[in-house]
Structure 1
Amino acid sequence: MRVAFFTLGCKVNQYETQILSQLFADDGYDVVSHTEPADVYILNSCTVTSTGDKKTRQMLRRFKSQNPGAVVALTGCFPQAFPDAAERLPEADVITGSSNRARLPEAVKRRLATGERVIDISPHQQGEGFEHMSMKKFSERTRAFVKIEDGCERYCSYCIIPKARGPVRSKPLTDLREELHNLARASYQEVVLVGVNLSCYGAELGIRLIDAVELACSIDGIQRVRLGSLEPELLSEEDIQRMAAQPKVCPQFHLSLQSGCDETLKRMNRHYTTREYESIVRSLRKNFKNCAITTDIMVGFPKETEEEFQQSMAFASKIAFPKVHVFAYSPREGTRAAAMPGQISKGEKEERSARMIALTQEVRKNFLQSQVGQTVSVLFERELAPHVFEGYSENYTPVHLSSPEDLHGKILPVKIISAQSDWCTGQLM
């Protein structure tokens, strides 16, 4: 039997798809690309925006058209948050949520054996534990993503994730240590700790994110430890200093901003002010040499005036983010923001997105130019063209260089000699 997977959404979803792939392979399936003929197609969905839901429906239809006789399974955040809507999708033969992934192989077996439609969505419960999962091998050979936290209880006014992912729960340090040792034995040199709300790691266990970071840094064979997206207000000065004492911690931090206007942040139910955010950025830059702070910025949130948008633009320029994911607010069914008055027109949101992107791209160019002349450590990940390799420095600057040798998977010192619009060019030292 051949099984194919397709993932929508974040790094946590990608990690979970790798877990599912491992489960099915252990069950005797041959794992193939989603573009190939398969007996089973599994779609791990995202429901952060309505666009994600649209992509889910499109992929389900594509899989059925590729092989009408195949079993098509839908899992992940969309059916967990909107079970009734998921059940109405005729292309989905098997439907599970984000809380019972381990039962998906058995659900597929039931469909194959009986031909009946299988719907198995378990609601999240307060007090539920972290789902036991551990990866030994990833399709990407240079960097391993390690999910250490699930769930969110921050309830931003625009976000459906607390409904889709449930309460905060964390991977115990003993389980994390075992997984990290397995990855080190598999020759992964960089690990990325990820979670739905990573900053809340350990809240129910009496530990904190810094404890997981220090554990990861203690594992022989792992050369780099990187963090996924962070909620800024949960990053304390003490934790920043403890991280800075670990040479393996990469000086790149993705601090989710959303808006550079305090009034907009209040309506979003974010839990910090721009002044507090800036203070955290200053601390990171003080403690980490050549530190890169990346972020997300939303434009067109309900009631966002031109003045508020200008404040957000000015703050983004002031912080000088090396990279920004800019996106327009999209009303999400089931959230408070979707029912707020003062919804911004699609045209206005697109126009503001274009202005914010133009600003942040110019700032990115300046950052890349600032890297010229520096010697950095680069983990090479792929060959772009014959003898042309791409890798990432500690602060996640993309670096291209030419070499007659195969550099894939190696960490090497590189001098940055020039900056392009979206990457730097280097030479081996």
Structure 2
Amino acid sequence: MRAAFYTLGCKVNQYETQILEQIFYDNGFDIVSPDTAADVFVINSCTVTSSGDKKTRQALRRFKRANPQAVAALTGCFPQAFPDAAEKIPEADVITGSYNRASLLTNIQKYLATGERVIDITAHERGEKFESMKASKFLDRTRAFIKIQDGCDRYCSYCIIPMARGPVRSKPLAELEEELAGLAKSGYKEVVLVGINLPSYGKETGGKLRLIDAIELACAVNGIERVRLGSLEPELLTDDDIARMAAQPKFCPQFHLSLQSGCDATLKRMNRHYTGAEYKEIVQKLRAAFDNAAMTTDIVVGFPGETDEEFAQCIQFAKDVGFAKVHVFPYSVREGTRAATMPNQVTKAVKEVRCAALSREMEEVRRAFLQTQVGKTEQVLFETTETALGTEGYTKNYIPVRVLADTDIRGQLHNVKLVSVSGDCCIGKLAD
């Protein structure tokens, strides 16, 4: 039988889909593209925004029209957070949540045997354990993502994730070490540690286990040449964390520090746990500790109550920080959150104008950062991608670089002299 997987959302979702693909493959399924005919279609959903829910419904409808006799399974954050809404989607034959993913195959087999719809959503509980998962291969990738943390207890006013993902829980170090060793044996040179709220790693242990412990473990694995982190809540990084990360030669100095807004009044309404001044202080500490560190972030535009003045403060703040890259999103009303019922909702038209304005400003900031890289010699890990400008790879601080080479350098690490900027990347010449 053939199984197709379609993933919406974050790197954690992508990792979990990879685990599901492995489970199905190990049980005799051929894994095919979601755009081709399949006997089973699994959509791993995201529910951060209502548009994610819409994309989930559209994907299920498309698949069922093309494969009316096949099994369509819905899993992930959407049914976990909104089980009643998920149950009303007629195209979904099997519905499970974001917990106990290992049961998905069993539920699909049950549907195939009985023809009866299966709804199996396990509720999150206080004190639940990290669901054991181990990836061994990522198709067409040079780097491997490893989920080491799940759950969130921050309760930002716009976010449904605590409902969808449950309490904070962490992958035990022994399991992480085993997974890392397997990936190194498979030839992966870079690993990216990801989580729903990554700096909360080990919080449930009362401080006995922390994110820096996982970082140091990963850096100590033979064969792993680079260790990178996913998105970080900035205020959870301590001085000790920064010092110990800086002591690791394999650690990549690219920090995706979730900002959301550069205006203190907006941050307060968002129930973020830092001020602009505190955020800048953390950036300064990171830049002092790491040579050529890159700061990237997300900014939400048009949050309820955001005035023209607050938006202007946000733009200026982002320019002052000098991010390497900024992902700009319009605020999306998310049912079930406090922000959904806040007064002074910003109109769609205003959000579109502000998104465009901030994106233009941040493109200039991005180009300025790329120009600072010209003349440097950086280590680049080359990907499988071939472009008209050469083979593409990434520096340790995650700058895309393209190089013309006489031999196949994909999957290899090389020192590269960065000589110019072209669009959103740097052009380099092999220097080793």
TM above 0.5: yes
Aligned pair partner of 1:289 in 284, 288, 291: 291
Q: CA deviation at 1:28?
A: 1.1
Distance in 2 between residues matched to 1:196 and 1:415, nearest whole Å: 36
Contact 1:387 1:405 in 2 (8 A): no
Cα distance, 1:24 vs structure 2? 0.6
Moved more, 387-396 or 33-42: 387-396
How far apart, CA to CA, are the structure 2 residues paired with 1:47 and 1:141?
26
- Paired position in structure 2 for 1:263: 265
Q: Tell me what 1:393 maps to.
A: 395
Report the CA distance shift for 1:197/1:80 in structure 2 as closer, same or farther (over 3 A).
same
**Is this contact kept in 1: 2:142–2:384, CA < 8 A?**
no
**How far does residue 387 in structure 1 lie from its aligned partner after superposition?**
8.2
Identical columns (%): 65
Task: Look up the equivalent residue of 1:363 and give its one-letter code.
Answer: V
Is the aligned partner of 1:121 residue 2:108? Answer: no
Which amino acid counterpart does residue 288 of structure 2 have in structure 1?
K
Counterpart in 1 of 2:410? Answer: 408
Question: How far apart in 2 are the matches of 1:421 and 1:303?
Answer: 35
- How far apart are 1:187 and its partner, in Å? 0.8
Per the TM alignment, residue 26 of structure 1 is displaced from its structure 2 partner at its CA by 1.1
| Partners of 1:8 and 1:408 in 2: CA distance | 27
Residue 314 (structure 1) shift: 0.7
The corresponding residue for 2:423 is: 421
Post-superposition shift, 1:207? 1.0
Residues 140 and 384, structure 2, Cα contact 8 Å, conserved in 1: no
2:325 aligned residue = 323
2:72 is aligned to: 72
Runs of 4+ in 1 over 4 A off after TM superposition: none
1:352 corresponds in structure 2 to: 354
Give the equivalent residue in structure 2 for 1:300. 302
Map 1:21-32 → 2, pairs under 5 A: 21-32=21-32
Distance 1:100 1:241 in 2: 37
What do the CA deviations read for 1:256-286 (whole angstroms, capped 9, x no partner)?
0000000100000000011110000001001
Q: Distance in 1 between matches of 2:347 and 2:38?
A: 42
Q: Matches of 1:383 and 1:186 in 2, distance apart?
A: 19
Q: 1:219 maps to which residue?
A: 221
Between 377-386 and 14-23, report the one with greater CA deviation.
377-386
Cα distance per residue 1:339-373 (max 9 Å; x no partner): 00000000001111011101110000001111100
Q: Does 1:14 align with 2:18?
A: no
What is the CA–CA distance in structure 2 between the aligned matches of 1:386 and 1:311, rounded to whole Å?
40
Shift of 1:35: 1.2
Q: Deviations over 1:134-188 (max 9, x none)?
A: 0111113310000000000000000000000000000000110110011111110
SS at match of 1:295: strand
Partner of 1:199: 199
- Of residues 341, 344, 347, the one that matches 2:343 is 341
Q: Secondary structure at the match of 2:139?
A: coil
Checking the alignment, whether the CA contact within 8 Å between 1:368 and 1:420 is kept in structure 2 is: no
Cα pair distance change 1:167/1:388, threshold 3 Å:
same
- Deviations for 1:289-320, whole angstroms, at most 9, x for unmatched residues? 01000000011000011111111111000001
CA contact under 8 A between 2:71 and 2:108: conserved in structure 1?
Answer: yes
The answer to whether the Cα contact below 8 Å between 2:263 and 2:314 also exists between their aligned partners in 1 is: yes
Name structure 2 gaps, 5 residues minimum.
none
- The aligned counterpart of 1:252 is 254
- 1:204 alignment partner, SS class: helix
State the partner residue of 1:169. Answer: 169
SS at match of 1:298: strand
Aligned-pair CA distance for 1:238: 1.1
Compute the displacement of 1:254 (Å): 0.1
Aligned to 2:204, what secondary structure does the other structure show?
Answer: coil
Cα displacement (A) at 1:386: 6.9
User: Unaligned stretches of 5+ in structure 1?
Assistant: none
1:85 maps to what in 2?
85
Mean Cα deviation higher: 99-108 or 136-145? 136-145
- Residue matched to 1:160: 160
Amino acid at match of 2:89: L
TM-score by length of 2: 0.98
1:237 maps to what in 2?
239
Q: Is the 8 A contact 1:295 1:321 kept in 2?
A: yes
Q: Contact 1:199 / 1:209 at 8 angstroms: preserved in 2?
A: yes
Matched, 1:228 2:219: no
Which of residues 365, 372, 375 is equivalent to 1:373? 375
Q: Distance in 1 between matches of 2:385 and 2:295?
A: 27
Distance in 2 (CA, whole Å) between partners of 1:207 and 1:420 is 43
What is the TM-score when the length of structure 1 is the normalising length? 0.99
Q: Hey, what's the Cα distance between the residues in 2 that align with 1:210 and 1:173? A: 11
What do residues 10-67 of structure 1 show as CA deviations (whole Å, max 9, x unaligned)?
0000000000001111111111111111100000000000110010011001110111
Tell me, yes or no, if the aligned pair for 1:4 and 1:41 is still in contact at 8 Å: yes
Distance 1:90 1:219, change over 3 A: same
Measured against aligned partners, the alpha-carbon deviations of 1:357-410 in whole angstroms (never above 9, x if no partner) come to 011100000011111000000010023247821000000000011112111100
Aligned to 1:57: 57
CA RMSD of aligned residues (A): 0.8
CA positional deviation for 1:229: 0.1
